[in-house]
Amino acid sequence: MNGLVLVCLTLLATDAATSRDHLRMAAALVQAGHVEESLPHYAQAIKLRLDNPDAWMGRGKALAMVGRYRDAIDDFGQAVRLQPGAADPLIERGFAYGEAGDFASAVEDLTHALRTDPSNAKALVLRGAAYAKLGVRTKAIEDFSRALELTPNDAQLHLARATIYAAEGQNREALADRETAVRLLPGSAEALVARGGSYHALGMHAQGLADRSAAIRLKPDLAEAWCARGSAYFLLGEYEKAAQDLEQAVRLKPNYEEARDVLAKARKDLAPAAIVEAKSTEPKATVEAAEEMAGAPTSVPEPAPVGAAVVETAAPPVASVPHHANPKSAALHNQRGRELLNHGQYQQAVDELTAAIEAQPDFALAYNARGFTYHMLRDTAHALADLDEAIRLDPAYANAYHNRGVAKNAAGDKAGSAADEAKARELTAKK
């Protein structure tokens, strides 16, 4: 136990402990990593002085640190009431709203904060992330760009904006941001994986493979790097190399659904590829030939958890869907549905995901994605029904539990929401 904590304990042993004394003790415990133990001291600080905004803010931050976002929102609300017009309480409450999956309220709070402090980079980043989750990508790019004017050397922010650019099909802009991130973080395997994705999207496959290989050399235990390179090999028709990389990704991360999905397709295509190779004297090395060889689409990454308020910055894209792929394929409908979801076209996304489920009734990924989409449409009943089915089909599906927790909260089921969030954390910790 550090010295500050000991001093505070000595002081609190007397009957003269004040609200500020308890506040100091709570802050010391948080700094020492004992967040749960800080909460009773914050409570006592608030009890002794209800008009102390620092106590409400401190407890709100502690509650957010342990995942109790709804309780944190209440405490930040008290701080907002006690400090009308102050930006910090609004920013913290906006963050908590985002983590709880209420992105519209997050945008509202962060917009109010930016009226008070227009140059607050944290507020711009958080609002940009909330806009991205709402599918309003143009505004997300605007906020990230304004934040980068204030903090031009923030590599993670460059990666975040690149993710939005890539989702909008602005691949050259995404590449520029990712090149900047690699320059700022020369030893980052994640940045190299992301830049490799932009190279592949622009047809620069040699550079893309080189980046993914460099990422693997830097961080051999990064499953996403193996999956990204394996997916690129799959697109290019090099199924044996794809299978080897994807097998390594699964060894490193056994529950890696995207890697497993592409691996199954690579194995399926290994035999036909060998037959074609035996019959042909000239290997097919172009992208067109690779698409011709790849008989099935790959999966797309799992949607970010509904409650995430930070954009995933370096998630590696998997292989693109061949243009001639069977339109009745469940995987293809699932991919199209998720792409529409990411662009905020929710009703069209529901239609595609419904087609995926009709083609494959036990497709847990599609049920989860459709449940997520219904939640964004404010159709809580259908959202819960789909998420229930996703969990029935895959009881270890952490993301589905997380999404159902947010949907239950929207329906007013606080206890059910807390139970699902706890289950999601438990399953995630086992991965």
Q: Residues 416-421: what's their mean pLDDT?
A: 89
At residue 425, φ and ψ (nearest 5 deg) are -65, -40
> What pLDDT, on a 0 to 100 scale, did the predictor assign at position 2?
54
Position with higher pLDDT, 341 vs 69: 69
Query: Are 195 and 272 in a shared domain?
Result: no
Residue 276 lies in a domain: yes
pLDDT in tens, 308-330: 333 333 333 333 333 333 435 78
What pTM did the predictor assign?
A: 0.62
Taking the C-alpha atoms of residue 137 and residue 311, their distance in angstroms, rounded to an integer, is: 12
Last-in-domain residue among 162, 193, 220: 220
Per-residue confidence (pLDDT) for residue 16, from 0 to 100: 55
Q: Which DSSP string corresponds to 29-51?
A: HHHTT-HHHHHHHHHHHHHH-TT
State which residues form the domain around 271.
Answer: 222-311
Count: domains in the chain:
3
Predicted confidence at residue 336, as pLDDT, reads 81
Domain-located, residue 5: no
Residue with the bigger pLDDT between 178 and 281: it is 178
Same domain, 281 and 187: no
Distances (CA, A) of 327 to 220, 267, 303, 334, 352: 37, 21, 22, 11, 10
Residues 204 and 248 in one domain: no
Q: What integer is the mean pLDDT of 383-400? A: 92
**Does residue 367 sit within a domain?**
yes
Domain boundary among 203, 220, 237: 220
Query: Contact 123/114 with Cβ under 8 angstroms?
Result: yes
Q: What is the pLDDT of residue 275?
A: 42
Look at the block and give the residue holding tokens 């143009």: 138
21 within a domain of the structure (yes/no): no
User: Which of 220, 243, 263 is the C-terminal boundary of a domain?
Assistant: 220
Q: Are residues 210 and 274 in the same domain?
A: no
Task: Examine the domain organization and report whether 193 and 227 are in the same domain.
Answer: no
Q: Which of 89-93, 178-182, 252-256 has the lowest mean pLDDT?
A: 252-256
Least reliable range by pLDDT among 14-28, 31-45, 91-105, 179-193: 14-28
Does any domain span residue 26?
no
Report the CATH number that the domain containing residue 377 is assigned in CATH.
1.25.40.10
